């Protein structure tokens, strides 16, 4: 993007500006990278209290079976993802992956069963391609709608439930990955108990015209601060969560990425509905026999972050992998990263060296997440 005039704006753009956000181009949108508090304070505030994120750049898609039978929509979606959609209960959400014929990841996404349709949230940079992919593959059996009439926000942190309960008392009965419709500040919303920070929290879809009013009501609470993309990235990195385009992409498989937990037994070899999704032969083989490399957590010595793109080597300087994401973890109190290494180097505690500005700095394979996740199970 050459100029801000070419960038799209979310329904909360004016609010972000009024809150003093520093705006940057991201996935074709003008988005807030930080507010007045700054990235470090925003990160720490989310971990300690509650942070409000504008994530309206994400794609929101409804998938409705043309037959009127939601099970048909589930079966259609299962031709695109290696997860159990048919067994997903009404009012529940599941993490999923669009895969290609080589087993690579086209995008990661959330699928929610809304009873008479499925509600799908995809990444901003992929949403046009994802929608075209869905339209081409299942458009004959499903009616698909990519919504530009809704905003999406995330309220994250240990005080998120208490804050949201002031607008909707029933929120306290929701558990992790529950999805419900509700009225928030006179707006018809879809609320999921999920997020991208490792903290308990909620993602809330709101009619675009009412989004600013709902956000202002939430921001009126003394525990809530607006949080930008900078802290969103450091929070998800500490939580060991992948960023599409960095840690996962079309060259990585779910097994290499350590995401096999997202593939339920029913879709695996020996299950009731094995395979049937793009790249099944590759992915099912790797589930049985392993992959030659794997995503791992990494902790560097000292205080200097090791960024994505740095090579990883043994003490003999034989390259065994690459860093895909890295930064300083405020709550981890040090630099944290993730990357891919060969099978011989995946054990936690393995000593490696990261190439940084012509030098090889000590870095150790570490278990993820780097801070304890606090999802409400």
Q: Does 203 count as an annotated binding residue?
A: yes
How far apart, in whole angstroms, are the C-alpha atoms of residue 115 and residue 117?
A: 6
Tokens of 47: 């971990």
Query: Distance (Å, rounded) from C-alpha 167 to C-alpha 46?
Result: 20
Instruction: Compute the C-alpha angle 240/242/248, nearest 5°.
Output: 140
Listing DSSP states for 290-346 in one string gives: --SEEEEEEEESSS----TT-EEE-TT--EEEEEEEEEEETTTTEEEEEEEEEGGG-
Long-range contacts of 286-290 (CB under 8 A, 24+ apart): 286/103, 286/253, 286/255, 286/256, 287/255, 287/260, 287/263, 290/255, 290/343
Cα 219 to its chain centre, rounded Å, is 23
Residue 60: name the closest of 178, 206, 218 by CA.
Answer: 206
For 261, the 3-state DSSP assignment is helix
Spatial distance between the Cα atoms of 81 and 221, rounded to a whole number of angstroms: 39
- Long-range CB contacts (< 8 A, 24+ apart) of 245-252? 245/123, 245/125, 246/308, 246/324, 246/325, 247/295, 247/324, 247/325, 247/338, 248/105, 248/108, 249/104, 249/105, 250/100, 250/102, 250/104, 250/105, 250/106, 251/104, 252/104, 252/105, 252/295, 252/340
Asked whether the beta carbons of 296 and 112 are under 8 A apart, the reply is: no
Query: Measuring CA to CA, which residue among 277, 279, 253, 287 is closest to residue 75?
Result: 277
From edge to edge, which strands make up the β-sheet containing 118-122?
93-99, 105-113, 118-122, 59-65, 142-147
Annotated binding site for substrate: 203
> What residues are designated binding site?
203
């Amino acid at each position: 993007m050459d100029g801000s005039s070419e960038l799209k704006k979310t329904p909360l753009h004016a609010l972000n500006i009024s809150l003093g956000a520093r705006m940057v181009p991201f996935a074709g949108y003008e988005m807030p990278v930080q507010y007045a508090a700054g990235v470090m304070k925003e990160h720490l505030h989310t971990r300690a209290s509650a942070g409000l994120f504008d994530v309206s750049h994400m794609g929101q898609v409804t998938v409705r079976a043309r037959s009127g039978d939601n099970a048909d929509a589930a079966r259609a979606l299962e031709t695109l993802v290696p997860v159990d959609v048919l067994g997903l209960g009404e009012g529940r959400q599941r993490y999923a992956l669009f895969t290609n014929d080589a087993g690579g990841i086209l995008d990661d996404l959330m699928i929610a069963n809304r009873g008479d349709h499925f509600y799908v949230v995809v990444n901003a940079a992929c949403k046009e391609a994802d929608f075209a992919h869905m339209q081409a593959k299942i458009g004959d059996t499903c009616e698909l709608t990519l919504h530009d009439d809704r905003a999406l926000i995330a309220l994250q942190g240990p005080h998120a439930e208490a804050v949201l309960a002031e607008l909707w008392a029933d929120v306290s009965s929701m558990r992790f990955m529950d999805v419900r419709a509700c009225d928030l500040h006179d707006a018809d919303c879809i609320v999921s108990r999920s997020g991208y920070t490792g903290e308990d929290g909620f993602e809330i879809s709101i009619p675009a015209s009412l989004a600013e009013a709902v956000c202002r009501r939430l921001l009126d609470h003394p525990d809530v601060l607006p949080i930008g993309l900078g802290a969103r990235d450091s929070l998800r990195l500490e939580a060991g969560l992948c960023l599409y385009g960095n840690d996962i992409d079309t060259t990585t498989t779910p097994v290499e990425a350590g995401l096999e937990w997202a593939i339920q037994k029913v879709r695996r070899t020996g299950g009731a509905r094995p395979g049937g999704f793009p790249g099944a032969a590759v992915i099912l083989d790797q589930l049985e026999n392993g992959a030659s490399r794997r995503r791992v957590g990494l902790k560097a010595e000292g205080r200097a972050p090791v960024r994505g793109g740095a090579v990883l080597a043994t003490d003999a300087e034989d390259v065994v992998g690459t860093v895909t994401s890295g930064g300083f973890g405020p709550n981890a109190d040090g630099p944290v990263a993730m990357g891919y290494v060969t099978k011989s180097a995946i054990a936690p505690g393995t000593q490696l060296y990261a190439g940084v500005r012509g030098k090889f700095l000590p870095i150790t394979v570490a278990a993820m997440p780097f801070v304890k996740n606090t999802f409400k199970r």
